[in-house]
């Protein structure tokens, strides 16, 4: 009798769990809304490039992105989230690792915290930044597995949730470059993603970008892609530009959606969104980080790079991605201790730092920062940046991509087919006509 009763109780529990998960799998987390008023409001922006044509993607359903992990997110209560805030928000990686070591935090709680935050803001049309394009459905379980491991000397990136720009190949998630042409594109991990995973980083998901890394559009809003819609700046949605093309990487960091993010740059695509979103971005010397597995533009200018909330985390994320890649002709090995360099208690005395004269005159925060650097011993050198003609720059990129087409075309591994540059251009042109009719 007791055995029968236990069996019935267990059956009921499993049945309830299955019913709950079925409810979550069909839940409407993001009801599409009429964004015409937001589009209309953008027409009054002084910056013409911020005159939006649409906000939401017309080809992606956010429910498909957010449903798979919803059953994990609902396990965290608002009170638990609030309790974790002072332990996680604005804390650097060494501090987070110390809390894990002390038992005050786990990698699973860290992941859940960021997921809760992402769901809270991204599924509300009044706060959504349209930043998240994909989430790693296994990330909570991966964090649990890391928590089971015995403490040992590891790279500080271990257990840290990282977001990737969606032109960086990632197994298990589509790599779209924001384009309909690559909507279902499945790839292997890019070399830098392999490096991150080897060191125990947790790939949380993929973020929006200026479509094709802003390569195929002139004058379009920064941060817009067909797949993700219009990325918005958390410091002023529709008021301030996001910068680009690593728009989602910058906005995700500003909104505290992860410990770190990875962007890519050909010319300004890390530095611009880092500046616009008040985060730390680094474009490394070409070759320091591999480009294998990243949607290409230029063989001489492309590179991924770290985007973080602070300099220490930037050095840690950079360090975790280094390593010589035989498949990238520019790739080099390095023995540089980037983490040690930023932790060095050296002095700014004798260091000459250039500052833009016009910003000293127009930006009070910039002026205060320069004054602080001066007080710390740095020598400030004011200068006016010369006007530099960029005539022919796009032609240079076009020729580079076409001449190297055989080695740098995007392979759709699952479908076993190759898209030529011409095909990509044609598909992109057709999608623009369709979306903006």
Domain residue ranges of the chain, discontinuous segments joined by +? 53-344+417-435
What are 197-216's pLDDT values in tens digits?
999 999 999 999 999 999 87
Q: What does the pLDDT average to over 402-431?
A: 54
Q: What does the pLDDT average to over 294-308?
A: 93
Any idea which residue has 């349209």 for tokens?
130
Given a cut of 60, is residue 407 above it in pLDDT?
A: no
Task: Supply the pLDDT for residue 416.
Answer: 44
Q: Is 299 a residue of the active site?
A: no
Name the band, by pLDDT with cuts 50, 70 and 90, for residue 340.
very high
What gap in Å lies between CA 196 and CA 159, rounded to an integer?
Answer: 10
Q: Is 269 a residue of the active site?
A: yes
What is the pTM assigned to this prediction? 0.90
- Phi first, then psi, for residue 391 (nearest 5°) are -55, 130
Neighbours of 110 (CB within 10 A): 25
**For residue 283, what are the CA distances in angstroms to 10, 270, 277, 288, 315?**
55, 6, 16, 10, 12
Task: Supply the pLDDT for residue 404.
Answer: 64
Q: Which residues contact 380 (CB under 8 A, 6 or more apart)?
A: 353, 355, 370, 373, 374
Nearest to 251 by CA among 238, 217, 284, 287: 238
Name the band, by pLDDT with cuts 50, 70 and 90, for residue 389.
confident
> What does pLDDT average to over the chain?
89
Q: Which residue has the higher pLDDT, 367 or 405?
A: 367
Q: Find out whether 370 and 360 touch, Cβ atoms under 8 Å.
A: yes
Task: Supply the pLDDT for residue 399.
Answer: 79
- DSSP assignment letter at 385: P
Nearest to 286 by CA among 319, 246, 329: 329
- DSSP assignment letter at 190: P
Task: Supply the pLDDT for residue 24.
Answer: 80
Q: Which residue has the higher pLDDT, 116 or 219?
A: 116
Task: Supply the pLDDT for residue 409.
Answer: 46
Given a cut of 60, is residue 170 above it in pLDDT?
A: yes
For the chain, the residue count is: 437
Q: Is 245 a residue of the active site?
A: yes
What are 240-296's pLDDT values in tens digits?
999 999 999 999 999 999 999 999 999 999 999 999 999 999 999 999 999 999 998
Task: Supply the pLDDT for residue 421.
Answer: 55
What are 88-100's pLDDT values in tens digits?
999 999 999 999 9
Given a cut of 50, is residue 406 above it in pLDDT?
A: no
Name the band, by pLDDT with cuts 50, 70 and 90, for residue 414.
very low
What are 98-140's pLDDT values in tens digits?
999 999 999 999 999 999 999 999 999 999 999 999 999 999 9
What gap in Å lies between CA 352 and CA 370, rounded to an integer?
Answer: 12
Q: Which residue has the higher pLDDT, 411 or 274?
A: 274
What are 363-379's pLDDT values in tens digits?
999 999 999 999 999 99
Q: What does the pLDDT average to over 324-330?
A: 95
Name the band, by pLDDT with cuts 50, 70 and 90, for residue 343.
confident
Neighbours of 275 (CB within 10 A): 14
Given a cut of 50, is residue 329 above it in pLDDT?
A: yes
Task: Supply the pLDDT for residue 393.
Answer: 85
Given a cut of 60, is residue 9 above it in pLDDT?
A: no
Given a cut of 50, is residue 411 above it in pLDDT?
A: no
Name the band, by pLDDT with cuts 50, 70 and 90, for residue 8.
low
Any idea which residue has 């400030």 for tokens?
380
Q: Find out whether 113 and 76 touch, Cβ atoms under 8 Å.
A: yes
Pairing assessment for the beta strands 410-412 and 260-265 based on DSSP bridges: unpaired
Q: Calculate what percentage of the chain has a pLDDT beyond 90.
A: 74
CATH fold of the domain at 53-344+417-435: Amidase signature (AS) enzymes (3.90.1300)
Q: Find out whether 211 and 176 touch, Cβ atoms under 8 Å.
A: no
What are 209's two structure tokens? 């970008």
What are 253-269's pLDDT values in tens digits?
999 999 999 999 999 99
Catalytically annotated residue among 269, 298, 319, 331 = 269
Catalytically annotated residue among 62, 109, 165, 206 = 165
Neighbours of 51 (CB within 10 A): 13
Catalytically annotated residue among 42, 128, 245, 298 = 245
Pairing assessment for the beta strands 260-265 and 280-281 based on DSSP bridges: unpaired
Q: What does the pLDDT average to over 294-319?
A: 95
Given a cut of 60, is residue 394 above it in pLDDT?
A: yes
- Phi first, then psi, for residue 393 (nearest 5°) are -65, -45
């Amino acid at each position: 009798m007791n055995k029968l009763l236990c069996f019935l109780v267990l059956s009921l529990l499993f049945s309830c769990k299955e019913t709950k998960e079925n409810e979550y799998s069909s839940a409407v987390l993001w009801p599409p809304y009429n964004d015409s008023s937001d589009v209309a409001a953008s027409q009054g922006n002084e910056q013409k490039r911020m005159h939006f044509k649409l906000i939401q993607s017309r080809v992606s359903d956010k429910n498909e992105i957010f449903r798979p992990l919803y059953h994990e997110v609902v396990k965290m209560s608002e009170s638990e989230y609030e309790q974790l805030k002072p332990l996680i928000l604005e804390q650097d990686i060494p501090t987070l690792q110390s809390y894990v070591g002390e038992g005050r935090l786990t990698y699973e709680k860290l992941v859940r915290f960021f997921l809760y935050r992402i769901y809270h803001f991204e599924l509300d049309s009044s706060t959504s930044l349209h930043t998240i394009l994909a989430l790693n459905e296994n990330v909570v379980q991966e964090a649990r597995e890391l928590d089971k491991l015995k403490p040992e000397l590891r790279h500080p990136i271990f257990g840290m949730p990282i977001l990737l720009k969606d032109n960086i190949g990632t197994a298990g998630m589509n790599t779209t470059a924001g384009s309909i042409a690559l909507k279902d594109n499945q790839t292997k991990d890019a070399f830098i993603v392999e490096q991150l995973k080897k060191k125990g980083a947790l790939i949380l998901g993929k973020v929006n970008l200026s479509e094709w890394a802003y390569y195929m559009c002139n004058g379009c809003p920064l941060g817009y892609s067909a797949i993700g819609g219009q990325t918005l700046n958390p410091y002023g949605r529709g008021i301030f530009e996001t910068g680009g093309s690593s728009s989602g990487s910058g906005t995700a960091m500003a909104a505290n959606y992860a410990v770190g993010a990875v962007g890519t740059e050909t010319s300004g695509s890390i530095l611009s969104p880092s500046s616009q979103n008040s985060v730390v971005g680094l474009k490394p010397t070409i070759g320091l980080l591999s480009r294998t597995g990243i949607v290409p533009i230029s063989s001489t200018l492309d590179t991924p790079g770290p985007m973080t909330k602070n300099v220490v985390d930037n050095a840690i994320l950079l360090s975790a991605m280094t390593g010589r890649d035989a498949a990238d002709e520019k790739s080099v090995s390095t023995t540089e201790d980037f983490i040690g360099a930023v932790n060095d208690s050296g002095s700014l005395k004798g260091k000459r730092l250039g500052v833009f004269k016009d910003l000293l005159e127009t930006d009070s925060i910039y002026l205060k920062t320069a004054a602080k650097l001066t007080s710390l011993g740095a020598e400030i050198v004011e200068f006016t940046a010369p006007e530099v003609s960029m005539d022919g720059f796009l032609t240079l990129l076009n020729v580079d991509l076409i001449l190297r087409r055989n080695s740098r075309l995007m392979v759709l591994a699952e479908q076993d087919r190759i898209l030529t540059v011409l095909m990509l251009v044609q598909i992109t042109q057709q999608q623009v006509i369709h979306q903006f009719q």
